[in-house]
Structure 1
Amino acid sequence: MAGTRWCIEECFQAAKGQVGLDHHQVRHWTAWHRHITLAMLALAFLAALVADATPARTAQPNRPARSTDPIDLTVPEIRHLLGALLNPPNASLRRLLHWSNWRRHHQATARRSHYRRRIADPVTG
């Protein structure tokens, strides 16, 4: 039961941070219900895009530690890209995608470094 609660808490935190689940000022239950429904629908849409963009995994459990690929697209990254596409950016689409790729490569480098440090020193990692 405790493990299920953790998953639910993470889902609510993601909804609060990414789609504004807690950004409401309503007086009636109907308005609150509509806001919550739209926020959860937006999060489900983003999660479906993430699942669709995630490549099939290989059988290697240490893939993130050895791979030079960027990390997979995440909900915040897709939200940022959609926001930039819906609000005309100052930069071109090519530059926006280049920035996203650079950022994910940077995050993959940080992840590899973190994994190497944890493998090198398992006591403090």
Structure 2
Amino acid sequence: MRRNDTTGELAWYRCWTPCPAGIGDLVRVVGRRWTVEANFQAARGHAGLDEHPVRRWNSWHRWTTLAMLAHAFLTILATVMNDAEPVDDVAGLLAITLGEARRLFAALAATVTITSDRVLAWSGQRRRHQHRARRAHYQRREGLQPSNHPQDQ
């Protein structure tokens, strides 16, 4: 049982363990509850943990795993960036949060540009492949030569 210092509200927990546990262990487990809830809240806000329309268990499991992986990635990214750039009062910088790490990653990932020549080459290769596939389909279906079909001209 615990009492809120400001409101005087009482909160209590009922615990059961298959083997005896000390009061220190129980208090430690109860205290971890807030860490777990804060992590779920952060994962919902930054990694989209709550954005999956649950229809099947498999798809929910995959989505949750991906969201948790994204949350872990953002946490590690923020930690590494904070270690690389120490926070001090002189520079006037706050520590990098998960939200800031997410925004930085999105901005840096978006700066990787593909040249127009590469896009046009990809489009040409794709259209050549589609043309060959269409011609083979028409030949197989109708026994026509590609030049005899109106869509090939």
Q: By the TM > 0.5 criterion, same fold? A: yes
Instruction: State the SS of the aligned residue for 1:18.
Output: helix
| Superposed structure 1 runs of 4+ greater than 3 Å apart | none
Cross-structure match for 1:2: 30
Instruction: Write out per-residue CA displacement over residues 28-51 of structure 1, whole angstroms, 9 at most, x where no aligned residue.
Output: 100000000000000000111111
Q: RMSD across aligned C-alpha pairs, in angstroms?
A: 2.4
**Number of residue pairs matched by the alignment:** 82
Higher RCO structure (Cα 8 Å, ≥6 apart):
1
Q: 2:90 aligns with which of 68, 81, 98?
A: 68
AA of the residue aligned to 2:107: A
| Correspondence 1:31-46 to 2 at 5 A | 31-46=59-74
Instruction: Write out per-residue CA displacement over residues 76-100 of structure 1, whole angstroms, 9 at most, x where no aligned residue.
Output: 0010111223345xxxxxxxxxxxx
Give distance in 2, aligned partners of 1:47 and 1:5: 19
Instruction: Write out per-residue CA displacement over residues 30-74 of structure 1, whole angstroms, 9 at most, x where no aligned residue.
Output: 000000000000000011111111238x9xxxx86xx22301211
Higher-Rg structure is: 2
Give distance in 2, aligned partners of 1:24 and 1:17: 13
TM-score by length of 1: 0.58
Gap regions ≥5 residues in structure 1: 89-125
Q: 1:21 aligns with which of 33, 49, 60?
A: 49
The structure whose residues are more often helix, as a share, is 1
Gap regions ≥5 residues in structure 2: 1-28, 112-153
